[in-house]
């Protein structure tokens, strides 16, 4: 099914009015408006097929039927994942709210329609042994880069920091006499996290033995950043990601990203008995609900607990 909006559709004019509202009054980007247009063009094609001629004729059942159609692909389009279906429904909700507010319909038929439940997947976390392998691999070799990469990954795992927070650190943010670090998170929010001795020692070794060599390569005035690239400028997120990938390849680990270390940090803390609200603070999550995904128990862990605790498990 084509997703282009047919010019002769009775919904063409009210839909254009809504898209203009998104672009002009709400100031959404051209890419975002284009995404709304694609989702709503598919929805309007569904309404056209049902014989609806105006927003006021659309029922709750029509909207629910559309959600099911895009989820399964029964409308001739590609079936959507639960998250993409939820996004498509959000676009439909926005349009119907607008139509109701503008007097184009007496009611909003989307208020009771639910999006498909999203599967909550457990974040991928490394074992403690694999983390050790990864950190050792990062520090293998001679020269300033292994010292830098070891310090970078040690700090990611020790603090649970986002990659942007760690590469955004300046030298003045690091106090070797105090085992804490101030991270600058999303929305300008700051949080204080403790730093263990392994990470502190790795950062100190890098700052004393490796960073001066990288500073010497600077073509301009030296950067205040803790982590520098080979030109003496602040290490980018992309370069930090590449350093992690190199270490993962050396350690024989796959599917490792900077967020993997953040997930591992949270998982290992909770597994060691840390309170979920403390982990929430350390991660900088606004809601404890976000952190609680780490408390989901894997089937293997369930079996181990059952085998150890149930009197007739053997």
- Alpha carbon distance 73, 38 (integer Å): 15
User: If we measure between CA atoms, which residue out of 45, 58, 128 comes closest to residue 100?
Assistant: 58
Q: Which of 23, 87, 191, 285 is catalytic?
A: 285
- Alpha carbon distance 208, 185 (integer Å): 27
Q: Which of 162, 200, 211, 268 is catalytic?
A: 162
Q: Which two tokens stand for residue 251?
A: 């350690």
- Alpha carbon distance 117, 297 (integer Å): 19
- Alpha carbon distance 117, 104 (integer Å): 31
Report the 3 state secondary structure along 164-178.
Answer: HHHHCCEHHHCCCCC
Q: Is there a contact between 113 and 102 (Cβ–Cβ < 8 Å)?
A: no
Please say if 21 is a catalytic residue: no
DSSP code of residue 187: G
Q: Which of 186, 209, 231, 303 is catalytic?
A: 186
- Alpha carbon distance 29, 27 (integer Å): 6
Q: Which of 96, 100, 262, 268 is catalytic?
A: 262
Please say if 294 is a catalytic residue: yes
Q: Which of 53, 124, 209, 259 is catalytic?
A: 259
Please say if 209 is a catalytic residue: no
- Sign, CA dihedral 62-66-72-74, equals positive
3-state DSSP helix/strand/coil percent for the chain, to nearest 5? 60, 5, 35
Give the H or E element holding residue 126: none
- Alpha carbon distance 229, 167 (integer Å): 11
Please say if 206 is a catalytic residue: no
Please say if 189 is a catalytic residue: no
Residues identified as active-site: 162, 186, 259, 262, 285, 294
């Amino acid at each position: 099914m084509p997703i282009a909006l047919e010019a002769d559709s009775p919904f063409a004019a009210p839909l254009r009015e809504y898209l203009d509202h998104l672009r002009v009054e709400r100031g959404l980007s051209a890419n975002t408006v284009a995404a709304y247009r694609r989702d709503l063009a598919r929805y309007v094609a569904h309404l056209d097929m049902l014989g609806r001629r105006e927003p006021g004729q659309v029922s709750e059942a029509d909207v629910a039927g559309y959600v099911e159609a895009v989820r399964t692909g029964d409308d001739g389009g590609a079936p959507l994942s639960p998250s993409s279906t939820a996004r498509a429904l959000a676009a439909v909700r926005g349009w119907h709210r607008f139509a109701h507010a503008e007097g184009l319909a007496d009611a909003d038929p989307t208020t009771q329609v639910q999006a498909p439940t999203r599967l909550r997947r457990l974040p991928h976390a490394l074992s403690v042994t694999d983390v050790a392998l990864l950190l050792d691999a990062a520090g293998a070799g001679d020269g300033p880069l292994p010292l830098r990469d070891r310090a970078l990954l040690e700090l990611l795992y020790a603090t649970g920091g986002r990659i942007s927070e760690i590469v955004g650190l300046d030298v003045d943010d690091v106090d070797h006499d105090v085992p804490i670090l101030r991270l600058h998170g999303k929305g300008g929010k700051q949080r204080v996290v403790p730093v263990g001795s392994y990470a502190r020692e790795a950062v100190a070794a890098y700052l004393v033995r490796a960073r001066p060599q990288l500073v010497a390569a600077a073509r301009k005035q030296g950067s205040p950043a803790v982590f520098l690239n080979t030109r003496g400028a602040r290490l980018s997120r992309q370069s930090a990601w590449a350093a992690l990938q190199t270490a993962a390849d050396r350690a024989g680990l796959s599917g490792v990203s900077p967020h993997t270390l953040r997930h591992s940090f949270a998982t290992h803390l909770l597994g060691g008995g840390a309170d979920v609200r403390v982990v929430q603070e350390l991660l900088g999550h606004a809601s404890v609900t976000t952190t609680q995904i780490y408390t989901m128990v894997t089937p293997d862990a369930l079996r181990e607990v059952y085998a150890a605790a149930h009197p007739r498990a053997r």
